[in-house]
């Protein structure tokens, strides 16, 4: 098989394959090749009589292109394909395991704009794939696939009750006979994958819900709404006199909250709150909480004060979940709103987390502003540099400059520069109690990197 994309570079990023549709690596042809390779790799892994794959998607226009391409590839190598239509990423992770599928695929670029799309793969156990498996699949994409005989081709069908199956699963996070009646909620579905199931679950649990961002048209996913733009949700929460505001991203694996005053509550605050709740109820069992290199220093200090160990991983919930299982942790997550509760789910689940927070809010009888801010975040400034060669971060002079800035800020501060694993940019994060100094240092670093990039082009 001819290979028309550059396999010298790794196809997979920190969260599957992602890029601009029909411009980067995301094409229908790539999807067919990936399906053939992944189908060959996972064929028979679930141990069922007839191998099958579950395929979900968010609401992007390009999903109509990628879904049939995947179905074609998988059925050609003998797997039955089950499609769900728009569903959250964590729903696909759960249903892959519940339906005993050999693998699952979510068509989504998560929080990216609609022009992008991506493919997230899950093993038969519902976990995202590790680097080694992804590399094996990429290698298989370079070789001729093993096609099924005519009589052994796969079939395709639509799963009609996917929403209901997932709804019943997430509602299990509430104790039996408990509901959310008496709560008023604003829910922003980001015009994405949760636009049906999110409102349905809150309605069934009795919450009075004002819904926004639930009118997808293929191009408005994440557009000035959802977890990437929570200001609209926060403003509406205050305006409606709601108890809590909830904003999902495009595939609903992350969630950001607002209190009743319209103030946004970041993911690290939610992790700290949940850790304290689990500590009170003897649910941590002395095990650590797991965050990432982006987690706020304030969270780390808060947990240390409570004698709760805290570990950091690379960015990406699959790295968090790997560390959680290694350390038998039951709670982890990211500032962006990926929250992992391993007693219930194998990946970040925005709806599951939202139900947990709503129940604890109702049970407490307190305002969200009183309950969900257990510590103060250390001021953190994050800037993105686009259209830049990520390899400049490997240069010695760049490393020295960054180290000098870290030394300037001192031990209670952090400077973190990293290439994005999901977008074509470099992220510059500066964290210290001095807001003005954060701005100065981040500007200096961004200017230095941009200049180094220009010098590299001229060499």
Reported as a single tens digit per residue, the pLDDT across 52-74 is 999 999 999 999 999 999 999 99
Q: Can you give the pLDDT at residue 236?
A: 98
Domains 266-352+359-377 and 380-458 share a fold: no
Q: Is 132 helix (H, G, I), strand (E, B) or coil?
A: helix
Residue range 254-259: mean pLDDT, rounded = 98
Poorest-pLDDT segment among 3-7, 93-97, 124-128 = 3-7
- At the topology level, CATH places domain 17-159 in Alpha-D-Glucose-1,6-Bisphosphate; Chain A, domain 3 (3.40.120)
The architecture in CATH of the region 183-262 reads 3-Layer(aba) Sandwich (3.40)
Percentage of the chain with pLDDT > 70? 97
For residues 55 and 82, is the Cβ–Cβ distance under 8 A? Answer: yes
Tell whether the model's pLDDT for residue 4 goes beyond 70: no
Percent of the chain with pLDDT over 90: 83
How far, in Å, CA of 103 to CA of 38, rounded? 8
Which string of b and e fits 359-371 if b means at least 16 CB within 10 Å? bebbeeeeebeeb
Write down the pLDDT at residue 411: 76
Question: Which residue, among 209, 214, 216, 215, has the nearest Cα to 186 in the 3D structure?
Answer: 209
Q: How confident is the model at residue 41 (pLDDT cuts 50, 70, 90)?
A: very high
pLDDT (0 to 100) of residue 456: 67
**Is the pLDDT reported for residue 115 higher than 90?**
yes
Residues with a catalytic annotation lie at 110
Query: Distance between CA 263 and CA 368 in Å, rounded?
Result: 10
364 pLDDT above the threshold of 50:
yes
Domain boundaries, the chain: 17-159, 183-262, 266-352+359-377, 380-458
- Cα Rg, the chain, nearest whole Å: 22
- For the domain spanning 380-458, the CATH number is 3.30.310.50
Class of domain 266-352+359-377: alpha beta
Instruction: Give the lowest-confidence range in 81-85, 221-225, 264-268, 455-459.
Output: 455-459
Q: pTM of the full predicted structure?
A: 0.90
Q: How far apart are CA 252 and CA 44, in angstroms?
A: 30
Average pLDDT value for residue range 284-301: 95
**Are 405 and 94 in contact, with CB atoms under 8 Å apart?**
no
């Amino acid at each position: 098989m001819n290979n028309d994309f550059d396999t010298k570079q790794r196809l997979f990023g920190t969260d599957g394959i992602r890029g601009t549709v029909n411009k980067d690596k995301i094409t229908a042809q790539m999807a067919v090749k990936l399906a053939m390779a992944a189908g060959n790799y996972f064929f028979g892994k679930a141990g069922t009589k007839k191998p099958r794959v579950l395929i979900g998607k968010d609401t992007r226009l390009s999903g109509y292109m990628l879904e049939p391409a995947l179905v074609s590839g998988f059925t050609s190598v003998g797997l039955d394909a089950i499609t769900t239509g728009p569903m959250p990423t964590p729903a696909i992770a759960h249903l892959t395991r519940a339906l005993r599928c050999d693998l699952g695929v979510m068509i989504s670029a998560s929080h990216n704009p609609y022009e992008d799309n991506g493919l997230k793969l899950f093993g038969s156990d519902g976990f995202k794939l590790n680097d080694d498996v992804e590399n094996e699949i990429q290698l298989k994409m370079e070789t001729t696939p093993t096609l099924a005989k005519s009589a052994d081709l796969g079939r395709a069908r639509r799963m009609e009750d996917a929403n209901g199956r997932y709804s019943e699963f997430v509602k299990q996070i509430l104790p039996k006979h408990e509901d959310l009646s008496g709560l008023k909620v604003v829910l922003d579905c980001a015009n994405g994958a949760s636009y049906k199931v999110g409102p349905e679950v809150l309605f069934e649990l009795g919450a009075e819900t004002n819904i926004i961002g639930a009118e997808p048209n293929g191009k408005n996913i994440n557009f000035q709404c959802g977890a990437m733009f929570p200001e609209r949700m926060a403003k509406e929460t205050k305006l409606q006199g709601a108890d809590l505001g909830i904003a999902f991203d495009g595939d609903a694996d992350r969630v950001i909250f607002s209190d009743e005053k319209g103030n946004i509550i970041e993911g690290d605050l939610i992790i700290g709150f949940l850790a304290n709740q689990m500590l009170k109820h003897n649910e941590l069992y002395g095990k650590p909480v797991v965050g990432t290199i982006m987690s706020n220093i304030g969270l780390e200090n808060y947990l240390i004060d409570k004698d709760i160990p805290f570990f950091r991983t690379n960015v990406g919930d699959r790295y968090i979940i790997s560390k959680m299982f290694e350390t038998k942790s039951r709670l982890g997550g990211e500032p962006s709103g990926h929250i992992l509760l391993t007693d219930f789910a194998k990946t970040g689940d925005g709806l599951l987390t939202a139900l947990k927070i709503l129940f604890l809010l109702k049970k407490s009888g307190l305002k969200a502003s009183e309950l969900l801010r257990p510590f103060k975040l250390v001021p953190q400034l994050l800037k993105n540099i686009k259209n830049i060669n990520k390899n400049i971060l490997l240069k010695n002079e760049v490393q020295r400059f960054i180290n000098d800035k870290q030394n300037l800020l001192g031990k209670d501060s952090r400077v973190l520069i990293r290439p994005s694993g999901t977008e074509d940019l470099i992220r510059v994060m500066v964290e210290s109690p001095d807001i003005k100094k954060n701005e100065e240092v981040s500007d200096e670093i961004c200017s230095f990197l941009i200049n180094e990039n220009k010098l590299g082009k001229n060499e």
